Amino acid sequence: LYQLLRPVNQTIAAIATATRLMQTAVHGVNLINLVFPLLLLTGGSALSDFSATQLNAGVLLFLDAHHYGVLISEAFFAVSTLLLAYLVYRSELFPALLGILLAIASLGYFLDSFVFFLLPQYEAVLVSVMQPMAVVGELSFTIYLLVKGVRLARRPTPAAVATA
């Protein structure tokens, strides 16, 4: 996407790429929080001094930590998606509507990420609002890329050049 959208605004395209890479890095590091519960549950004799209640509490702690990590990586993803939305909207390669839908998806990711930390009591309600916003925006962009591709300027064929 960077190569396609760089002509629109190279700086914003680079920042969008960097935030997407940061999101990927945070998400990748966060996967360790899914390994630790398995280690706690299958640790064998090394963990025999801990009670089942303590081990279960440790498992829940790491699963909660994973959830927080997902929300942090989602904040980077929201920024990346918003920048992508701007680039798509301004680009002649895609319909402007796709940029608008991606901006709506970005809003959904921002809401999910920040409302959880600021107003956690509304998380359940928010998920029912955020997910459709994100799905519509991202799925429409994905389907468009798979079905239509990008609107590249038609290059003259050698036969057309010869007759001109």
Summarised one tens digit per residue, pLDDT across range 75-133 is: 999 999 999 999 999 998 999 999 999 999 999 888 888 888 888 888 778 778 788 88
What domain range includes position 16? 2-152
Residue 95 counted as domain residue: yes
- What is the reported pTM? 0.81
Residue 104 counted as domain residue: yes
CA torsion 130-132-133-139 (nearest 10°) is: 130
pLDDT digits (tens, 9 = 90+) for 34-74: 999 999 988 777 788 888 899 999 999 999 999 999 999 99
How far is residue 39 from each of residues 30, 33, 54, 58, measured CA to CA in Å?
15, 10, 14, 10
What does DSSP assign to residue 70? H
Residue 120 counted as domain residue: yes
Q: How many domains does the chain have?
A: 1
Residue 161 counted as domain residue: no
Residue 124 counted as domain residue: yes
Residue 157 counted as domain residue: no
Collapsed DSSP state (helix, strand, coil) of residue 151: coil
